[in-house]
Amino acid sequence: METSNSGFSMGDTVELKPETVVGAIPSDREDNATAVIQKFLPEIVGAFKTDRDLRGCRYWNVEHVRKVDTNE
């Protein structure tokens, strides 16, 4: 399983941190509260792609998200 040096791994469910500012979400994008890390982008340190839109975007940086406990 691919892991970033920030402690996140592919397959982790994430949500945005409360302090992360999101602009207007385009009408053709989804406003999902959580998403799963699908792939890390080695050319951009800390960047990753999610399996679906997370607040209108599929590309985020680890500094903007936190893990969600999916065992609840």
Non-local CB neighbours of 55 within 8 Å, separated by 6+ positions:
16, 22, 25, 31, 32, 33
Contacts of 41 (CB under 8 A, 6+ apart): 47, 48, 49, 59
Domain ranges of the chain: 13-67
Beta bridge partners of 67: 14
Full pLDDT tens readout for the chain, 72 residues = 666 667 899 999 999 999 999 999 999 999 999 999 999 999 999 999 999 999 999 999 999 999 998 876
pTM of model > 0.95: no
